[in-house]
Amino acid sequence: MSTGEATADDMPGTETTVGGEAGAAPGTAPETAPGTATTREGTHDVRGTADREGVTGRGATAADDVRGQGVPPGCDGVLGRGMTAVVGGGAAGIAAAKALIEAGLPVLGIERATSLGGLWRLEADTASYEGLRLNTSKPRTEFSDFPMPAEWPDYPARAQMLEYLRSYADRFGVGERFRFGTTLESARRTEGGWELELTGPGGPYRETVEHLVVANGHNHEPRLPEPPYPGTFTGTESHAHDYVTPTELAGRRVLVVGTGNSAMDIAAELTDHASAVLLSARRGVWVLPKRLLGRPSDQLNGALAALLPWRVRQVVSQAVLRVADRKPAGPRLPAPRRGVLQDHPTLSDSVPRLVAEGRVLARQGIARLDGSRVHFTDGQVDEVDHIVWCTGYRAVTPFLDTVATTDTQTDTGTAPDPASTLLYRHVFPIGDDSISYVGLMQSTGSALPVVEAQGRLLAAVRAGTHRLPDPETARSIASAELDAARDRWGQRRPHMRIDVDRYLRVMRRELRASPSRALAGRRILVTGAAGTFGRAMSARFTAQGAHVVGLDIARPDDSDIPIIACDITSSESVDAAVAEAAALLGGIDLLVNNAGRGGPAPAELAPGDEVEAQLRLNLLGAWRVTAAVMPHLVRARGQVVFIASRMAVLPLPLAAAYGVSKRALAAYADALRLEVGTHVGVTTVYPSMVRSPIHDSTKQAGLSLDAVSRPEPVEGVVDAIVRAVTARRAPRDVATTVRGRLEMMVGRHAPSLADRLVRRTVAARVAAGDFANAPLAAGMVSRHRGQDL
């Protein structure tokens, strides 16, 4: 029943600590290629932008040189109206910038380090250490539109998490909006927003922006016990912020103070290196296993959270923990005084065993220090060489020269404690629309889904598609949430506390009334874009914020998207068209293989030109385009969608070429999924019949499907495709109607029954004379009539 919950005592071993590294020494920024940004006012060109028929590249901002390396030292910049500055390049800053980019808003990212990644970077200025791992499992941690690789472990390591965040940023063009090696020295309010004093690789300069997003994290300033423990310690001591590897303390008697995830990780690591390891806990703590009942424990808690209020869930969780308790006999850490969902649980499979074995010595809280001796509250005394203080961090915003919230505004020129700021939905100060916070929270689970939701709310408000309540209502809502947090967690940082599952449900409801932008920022290539499906899909994708380019043999003048002329049966044509599309889009995240050809082709007759044409287009053309696009999809962790047909699983007579080609297409998708499924989602969609010109040749041959397959509206097919490409994980097979799901089930699991149903329908049509004027059906008709005799 793990929740991954964190408190002020926690170190970055908890996935609840996020944020960037703005506010320290400058470094060197990597060069990035210029692109364009789409704002609410339209598309703005900058140097080096590829722009064709309204489709722009990704990466640059609405202000020239927004990445900052072109701002001369000492010169002032006015990025100005509409510009949002995001402070911090960790998970919170990346999520905020990504959401703003997808909403078409200009963004300036500020990061003091030379790269993105926040605390997951193993550098001197971060709280990371080599043994750091997630304490929330992959499905409960990952962003909704960017799954972690399937081959990764349930609880990925620090390096994998860093890779994941950077891949996510690359996928959505986030890094191109950041100025690296840049410190925000101060931010002062102006009439139109904020004046920023920055120090970059070229020296100090100023910028003016309209909105400031504080996403700098809260794992920068170590917190030591206050007041200090009585006495003097003559050994050495350090904060967990400075810990990197256990070899640093080899051969020493080490006291680890704290009960958060980092304290547990460090204590466990030290057992193979230190001469003795002591773990001091002022109070009891829930130490939960990483796996429970065969699953990552936080997944069980998440399943309960969808059904039960937290008080009921707490009773159930504690009952399951008692039943599943497999802790070895021997010494134990102090028992917690509060319930599992009211105190901060720590995940560790090793520490309870190490304590029971005597390899980690459990101690009470510290009473006083006396030279090299530490006295504990139960009267025990130990000799100690080194103390590691795993006592958490202070949330600070040193760059804010004016207060961040009207609720606590003063004239002192100093910012209030951000950990005590009343925020609407933990994002917006009450009555102040010039500043927001992303990641200023302590969650009962992973921070990534939280900052993703916060970024989307921020972007919706900034884009004008969502309106916040009036200050009185907002204050009432925020105060009620604060009261509930105090009731559950007490006085330990109640302003920052979030129950992740409840919070995400509230945020979904909050944004439900906003216009759908589920595909905002996606770079989509559609084959057969000039056809019925292609036009409808492209229009829907574009309306939901995607950038779309089409491929088709013809380029109609009335198309709303750029269409590149391409014969997908030609390798040379495909390679050139895909390269052009990728240049226009700045990469490809989603390929929809929609191009297709239909026509009559009885299976009993030798294959002619029509059969070969359908196989070349429906199967080999899709294969060829997919292969050309695959490097882009792998790089973007994207998705490919194949538009097959219900005839791939429920064949009909007289259209053998179409059914065979679509069944082969589905088989190709299945094989492809086995090869690239770790990085690319592969989905096959199975529409029934949609009235479109693809059926004209069949009707002209007297072989209409009208009485065999029930037509469905093209909008329903597009709905199914949109659901497939916006799902958390790419679905394998998608039917477009309830009837379609039933037909697919029968075709796959009861093929004999399916054959009988089709034969009965065909016999009825023959008896009714539907094929009397269809030469291609003559053989079938004569056989049916002979059977009738």
Q: For residues 765 and 768, what is the distance between their CA atoms, to the nearest angstrom?
A: 5
CA angle 343, 349, 352 (to 5 degrees): 70
Judge whether 702 and 695 are in contact, CB under 8 Å: no
Listed in sequence order, the residues at least 6 apart from 351 whose beta carbon sits closer than 8 Å to its beta carbon are 264, 267, 268, 279, 287, 333, 360
SS3 string of 326-358?
A: CCCCCCCCCCCCCCCCCCCCEECCCHHHHHHHC
Q: Encoding tokens for residue 365?
A: 């809280």
| DSSP alpha helix (H) spans, 586-737 | 609-614, 622-636, 656-676, 696-700, 714-726
Helix or strand run (H / E) with residue 445: none
Long-range contacts of 463-466 (CB under 8 A, 24+ apart): 463/40, 463/103, 463/104, 463/105, 464/40, 465/103, 465/514, 465/515, 465/517, 466/510, 466/511, 466/513, 466/514
| Contact yes or no for 568/595 (Cβ under 8 A) | yes
Token readout for 267 is 């204590």
| Residue 719 CB partners (closer than 8 Å, separation 6+) | 736
Q: Sign of the CA dihedral 519, 176, 160, 93?
A: negative
Residue 314's SS3 state is: helix
Q: Bin 82: left if φ > 0, else alpha if -120 < ψ < 50, else beta.
A: left
CB 112 within 8 A of CB 24: yes
Cis bond upstream, residue 227 (ω within 30): yes
Neighbours of 607 (CB within 10 A): 14
Q: Environment class of residue 191 by beta-carbon count within 10 Å: exposed (0-12), middle (13-18) or buried (19+)? A: exposed
The residue type found at 601 is: A
- HSE-CB of 772 using CA atoms within 13 angstroms: 4
Residues whose CB falls within 8 Å of the CB of residue 286, separated by 6 or more in sequence, listed in order = 336, 340, 343, 344, 345, 346
Active site residues: 658
Strands annotated E in 430-560: 435-437, 442-443, 497-498, 523-527, 547-552
Taking the CA of residue 434 as centre, how many other CA atoms within 13 Å lie in the half-sphere pointing to its CB? Answer: 20
Sheet (strand 373-376) strand order: 231-233, 366-371, 373-376, 381-383
Q: Can you tell me the distance from the alpha carbon of 339 to that of 345, in angstroms, rounded to the nearest whole number?
A: 10
Pairing status of strand 435-437 against strand 203-214: parallel
